Structure 1
Amino acid sequence: MRHAVPAAAALAGALALTGCSGSGADSGKAGLSVSSPYMPQPVSADMAAGFLTITNEGTAEDELTSVSSDVAGRVTMHSTVGGAMAEKSSFAIPAHGRLVFRSGGNHLMFEELRRKPRQGQTVTVKLTFAESGPLSVEMPVKSATYNPSTGH
């Protein structure tokens, strides 16, 4: 019986280490995709807004840490809560969840426009994440009054 306790403890320790080493390889990854991207044709010569939805079908949270585009000197991320807009340095994307950028809510601001995008054109946007690789998105430019819920 004396030999059984150390052997059981050694086996339990080995199993615990095996469990730890296998947990990072296949599980715990975000599975990100983008849908419904669009930019209303800007009414200003130097600023535009952008909207899209990022869906995470993975088992781990990720974080949108930056956005860039060749059409703008910089792209900033903003939240809108109770009518107050605040610039954010990142947005969490929960596992099995979504991050939605929409008119009146979270949104992207394209600042210092290098050219004014026109309806019918597309703008390339690069999304950078804390854990996942970057995603490039083609964002169509819609009419200035476009509303996705009505289609115009």
Structure 2
Amino acid sequence: MNRRTTRTTTLIAAIALTGGLALTGCSSDSSDGSEGSDGKPELKVSGAFMPQPVMDMAGGFLTIKNDSTTADKLTSVTSPISDDVQIHETKNQKMQQVKSFDIPANGELKLERGGSHIMFMGLKTKPKQGEKVSIELHFEKADPIKVDLPVEAATHNPKQH
């Protein structure tokens, strides 16, 4: 990093600390990444959805974007709809539970049909299309993020649109 970039980064961090501002995306040069004022990665969730379940289990899909220079891991997911929410990967067309998913610095984690995803086992209720299911994503470094998954048609697949 050159001196100007270092000074700019220091100034931005000082403003965030003193003003309590979340400057994510506000700087014209965000290529050097941004962490929160506490040094934790700043993560954003998009494209979240759950296909309407047809059995007592369901999948959940979303993208977690990490615009910071600090990598993180998705370690678990909790939801009032199930006491057993797991994170799965698909390898060689077989689904298997994993302990965590990496979220690279300045990268993203895509949980999508046919790949890595969230599995809700033993649903307490079966949500219908148009409803929302609340979840909380837990990370190794970042604070938990609450997300509402819109329930879509059982066949919904954003890749096909």
Q: Give yes or no for TM over 0.5.
A: yes
8 Å contact 1:29–1:59 — kept in the other structure? Answer: no
Q: 1:87 aligns to what? A: 97
Q: How does 1:1-150 map to 2 (within 5 A)?
A: 29-44=40-55, 46-150=56-160
- Residue type matched to 1:91 in 2? F
The 2-side partners of 1:38 and 1:27 are apart by: 30
The 2-side partners of 1:65 and 1:77 are apart by: 8
Q: 2:3 aligns to what? A: none
Structure 1 residue ranges without an equivalent (≥5): 1-24
User: SS of the counterpart of 2:160?
Assistant: coil
Q: Between Structure 1 and Structure 2, which shows a larger proportion of strand residues?
A: 1
Q: Describe the superposition over 1:39-66 as per-residue Cα deviations: whole angstroms up to 9, x where unpaired.
A: 000010x111110000100110011111
Shift of 1:122: 0.2
Shift of 1:26: 6.2
Name the % identity.
46
Q: Describe the superposition over 1:80-105 as per-residue Cα deviations: whole angstroms up to 9, x where unpaired.
A: 12212110011110100111100000
Structure 2 residue ranges without an equivalent (≥5): 1-35
User: SS of the counterpart of 1:149?
Assistant: helix
Q: 1:14 aligns to what? A: none
Shift of 1:27: 9.1
TM superposition outliers: structure 1 runs of 4+ over 3 Å: 25-29
8 Å contact 1:79–1:88 — kept in the other structure? Answer: yes
The 2-side partners of 1:112 and 1:84 are apart by: 20
Q: How many residues align?
A: 127
Q: Describe the superposition over 1:99-135 as per-residue Cα deviations: whole angstroms up to 9, x where unpaired.
A: 1100000011001111001000000010000111000
Bigger radius of gyration: 1
